[in-house]
Structure 1
């Protein structure tokens, strides 16, 4: 059954992060969504080399490299235009994986780009940025970083199957954009580079530190660093597509009506008359799909899907679980910062949705639950008001700490 949202709400963030308006500044976000989103690239030049100092700096990357596990498949190098996991390169080198960092730097000195996949999962400032953008965009966000030595090209010309924001953090890079062979390709439609190359660029420009570029999925591109090393972040956007919602509609129709699960007429492949009957039946079934599903339910399911890809906010949760044993009526807790949640009625109870899951609770505790969800300051079970006694409030608070919505102060 679809979860009907009473409206997603967000707790205040623990620290300010860039957000969409800051990312696009001085360009207006409404203008961007109307004129550029999924339509054409946008390039923003700024005279501010430290604009992205909050999410990532060149010094941060030096630290990340010195403390990274080379055995991780998420640390890669680009050799001859192709990404290769560093662990594969290190395995054949002197000392094996133990000497992987030297192997990485040797490749970097020779012109290879270093790729940090899913860096938002390991670097909290990028994680915070992705979570904020995910809430604003109703889409998943992921962050990769690309470190290219001076005068080198990273990946060969290609397009991405998701929209991308490029944030130039250090140095500069010369970008070339080409004619795109396919508009808004789906995830399984990877770029096939023509034998004679992508053709002449339709646009060329430099991105310097502090600049930004947005590219719709399907934009063919490549880039070369200039006279110094280049570091840029790519923010990949993973939205819910209409194609996904339409597939969901068809799946729900198939589940609800046996007509969609019946077979085509036996012998139809060799009988023109039966093929004609099958075509008429198919037309009736396709026409009936709209009546078999409810658009609002499908959109509500899409809303849930959009937020499942958002990285959970669970710092300190291990300590919270250990602290459950000693919680009392005066123990202070707070709602987690950056948390997106939705509360809705679900038959005899209420459904609380967050972190990609649904917690179902009795309807009678809704007043107390809403107090906990709307509280901006820390609180204890004794401070909550309502029909529940103190012990009942403590049971509710313990449950929400256990589920990760609340955290101990």
Structure 2
């Protein structure tokens, strides 16, 4: 199912036009496809993750009355064979919950399979990195004071009920270096005003908030559980940063300022004029393809492709056959480039050197569709196709078509 359709009931174009980065969206579960979000997370899964998965900080934290609890209040050493000091202690977690603390499971997009798959699909659809946390709050408690996030969020209620109060931003579209703590007084004052949204989320409901919108939430009745999918948008500021990083290549901008009193505006006037002209020239010379490569590196570092199974990959590579069907590993960023008399397949953290003769076959793989080994184009012998696929399997570029 289309991840964005499942979260909003809207197609991608409509969501982008009406809400992305600009306006909140509250969607009731009755208006969404599917049957809630318990396939992604439920209370039994939270218990399993907390007590049976060897969870360590920072993959969990707890908060009470607006403050983060000390790590020692919910962790202890792992014991024999696991000599680590910060493993989740289920009995301590229980005691904290009983005292009113909120449990936060962080980085679920890296450790819980259903969430890994869904978050990866959503990130690929939006084109921006995504992270997922779960929040479990006891009845009538508020885990965090009113605040804003520096990333967009989708709130997916999967258990219990929670009252949400949403206020307009005190800083629109904040960047990652503009956290709410730097505007604590303004946030507190704005939170006293009439909220834009004052609602109770029930299981299956979804709330989308662009970064900057103030929010706080209080559990009602039984324990409340929700997933927060945080989408870290790539901004125009990122593009501007790419220009600034290239200024050291500009001779005019490397020149020294004159001697004398540099605080005198009359001394600086000519230098500022020259600097503006050099900046404009630098922007005009900016290579779109070079910036795109920088963005590709950024996204490659911020996201991971879909998981692969190392043992299954090894087995598939050991017995590649003509009738095997493979596909590009979902979410893998790969670019094929000419290199001397061969090819270079550029991946997020490495590059493969390939012979020029496999260009057509690799391009067929990179197109993203499933492909039968014997049908790879441009190769003279079936053995050549098997050799290529074997290497791509071992390098994690392709996966068997039936793999999750």
- In the other structure, the counterpart of 1:261 is 254
- In the other structure, the counterpart of 1:68 is 53
- Please state how far the C-alpha of 1:194 moved relative to its aligned partner: 1.9
Instruction: Name which of structure 1's ranges 32-41 and 239-248 shifts more when overlaid on structure 2.
Output: 32-41
Preserved CA contact (<8 Å) 2:40 2:114: yes
TM normalised by structure 2 equals 0.84
Preserved CA contact (<8 Å) 2:257 2:271: yes
Which structure 2 residues correspond to residues 26-175 of structure 1 after superposition, within 5 A? Answer: 27-47=10-30, 50-84=35-69, 86-87=71-72, 89-91=74-76, 100-175=89-164
Q: Take 1:45 and 1:288, find their aligned partners in 2: how far apart are those partners?
A: 51
TM normalised by structure 1 equals 0.83
- Please state how far the C-alpha of 1:304 moved relative to its aligned partner: 5.0
Distance 1:165 1:272, change over 3 A: closer
- In the other structure, the counterpart of 1:400 is 392
- Aligned-partner SS, 2:305: coil
Aligned pair 1:208/2:202, yes or no?
A: yes
Q: How many residues align?
A: 386
Distance 1:140 1:328, change over 3 A: closer
- In the other structure, the counterpart of 1:338 is 330
Which structure 2 residues correspond to residues 356-371 of structure 1 after superposition, within 5 A? Answer: 357-371=350-364
- 1:188-241 Cα offsets, whole Å, 9 max, x none, are 111132286532242311111111111111111101011121110000001211
Aligned pair 1:237/2:221, yes or no?
A: no
Structure 2: stretches of 5+ with no match in the other structure: 78-84
- Please state how far the C-alpha of 1:303 moved relative to its aligned partner: 4.6
Instruction: Name which of structure 1's ranges 215-224 and 343-352 shifts more when overlaid on structure 2.
Output: 343-352
- In the other structure, the counterpart of 1:8 is none
- Aligned-partner SS, 1:338: coil
- In the other structure, the counterpart of 2:218 is 224
Which of structures 1 and 2 has the larger relative contact order (alpha carbons within 8 angstroms, sep 6+)?
Answer: 1
Q: Take 2:74 and 2:164, find their aligned partners in 1: how far apart are those partners?
A: 28
Structure 1 vs Structure 2 CA RMSD: 3.0
Q: Take 2:5 and 2:71, find their aligned partners in 1: how far apart are those partners?
A: 36
Structure 1: stretches of 5+ with no match in the other structure: 1-16
Q: Take 1:99 and 1:385, find their aligned partners in 2: how far apart are those partners?
A: 52
Instruction: Name which of structure 1's ranges 109-118 and 307-316 shifts more when overlaid on structure 2.
Output: 307-316
- Aligned-partner SS, 1:154: coil
